[in-house]
């Protein structure tokens, strides 16, 4: 990563890193790290090569920092809200869709270091890579500047702009975690919990496509079924849950029926052979 790019990103983040290597690691995907290691190993006659850090562990820490900063902000801002309302609001603010918008606004994809395979497959635009890199950057801010720097950035860039666009006087919060929302809906109806089944996995390792089916067995009725594809199992599960949730919430509580194939998006319809 060029020094001018590090400087430009620091300006965007509003923090001058004492240890810029943290920021560089936060933007290094494992594909790039393993590629560098392989090249170093091939060039080293001794057969040894130094380990190159990637952003996976930083992403793990950044997720926790994001969750705490968001929870603290909501706890302080809205003392009259009940726990369920706060939980839904937090789920929206830390959800992938919202974080993806933030990552795109910050142009994180431009600064990411990714391997050639990921580059060819459009890795700079992949939601999972962008969100992971953003969370890793939050960890880098925390490790370099401490809690105040990380919290202030999260509140200023991730939390406050979104809160300003929402009607917080109602509980009408956009659903981001469809799996949790579906579980709550089924519990409220006294129904069983959904079953997620991975029915297909295809494509090369760097460009996998997962097909997930969700089955909701309902007492004395046909089971509701949703089917979706995604670049990760998690995304496919979320989309399948969204289908069933939207279908159930459109029905009276006494009625449940199967989600028909023609209600699904074309790319999500089961193939005749499935």
Catalytic residue numbers read 63, 135
- SS3 per-residue string spanning 209-252: EEEEEEEECCCCCCCEEEEEEECCHHHHHHHHHHHHHHHHHCCC
**d(Cα 248, Cα 197) in Å, to the nearest integer?**
19
Rounded to 10 degrees, what is the CA torsion of 148, 154, 155, 161?
160
Q: What is the C-alpha separation between 149 and 132, in angstroms, rounded?
A: 19
Structure tokens at 55: 């952003």
Separation of alpha carbons 127 and 95, rounded Å: 12
Candidates 246, 198, 56; CA nearest to 259 is: 246
Q: How far, in Å, are 148, 175, 258 from residue 65 at the CA level? A: 11, 22, 41
Q: H helices of 81-126, where?
A: 83-93, 96-105, 108-111, 116-120
Q: Report the distance separating Cα 30 and Cα 120, nearest Å.
A: 15
Q: Are 70 and 87 in contact (CB under 8 A)?
A: no
- Cβ-contact 113, 34 below 8 angstroms: no
Please count the CA atoms within 13 angstroms of the CA of 147 that sit on its side-chain side: 6
């Amino acid at each position: 990563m060029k020094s001018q790019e590090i400087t430009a990103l620091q300006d965007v983040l509003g923090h001058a890193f004492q240890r810029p290597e943290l920021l560089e690691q936060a933007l290094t995907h494992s594909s790039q790290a393993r590629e560098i290691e392989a090249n170093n190993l091939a060039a080293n006659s001794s057969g040894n090569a130094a380990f190159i850090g990637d952003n996976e562990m930083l992403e793990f820490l950044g997720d926790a920092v994001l969750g705490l900063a968001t929870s603290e902000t909501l706890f302080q801002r809205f003392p009259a809200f009940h726990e369920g309302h706060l939980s839904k609001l937090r789920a929206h603010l830390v959800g992938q869709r919202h974080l993806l918008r933030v990552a795109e606004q910050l142009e994180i994809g431009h600064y990411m270091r990714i391997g050639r395979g990921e580059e060819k497959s459009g890795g700079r635009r992949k939601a999972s890579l962008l969100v992971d890199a953003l969370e890793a950057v939050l960890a880098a801010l925390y490790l370099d500047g401490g809690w105040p720097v990380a919290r202030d950035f999260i509140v200023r860039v991730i939390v406050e702009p979104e809160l300003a666009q929402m009607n917080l006087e109602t509980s009408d919060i956009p659903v981001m975690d469809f799996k949790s929302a579906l579980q709550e809906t089924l519990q409220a109806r006294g129904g069983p919990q959904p079953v997620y089944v991975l029915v297909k996995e295809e494509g090369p390792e760097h460009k996998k496509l997962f097909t997930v089916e969700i089955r909701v067995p309902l007492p004395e009725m046909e089971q509701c079924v949703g089917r979706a594809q995604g670049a990760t199992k998690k995304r496919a599960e979320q989309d399948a849950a969204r289908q069933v949730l939207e279908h159930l919430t459109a029905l009276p509580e006494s009625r449940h029926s199967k989600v028909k194939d023609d209600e699904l998006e074309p790319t999500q319809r089961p193939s005749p052979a499935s």
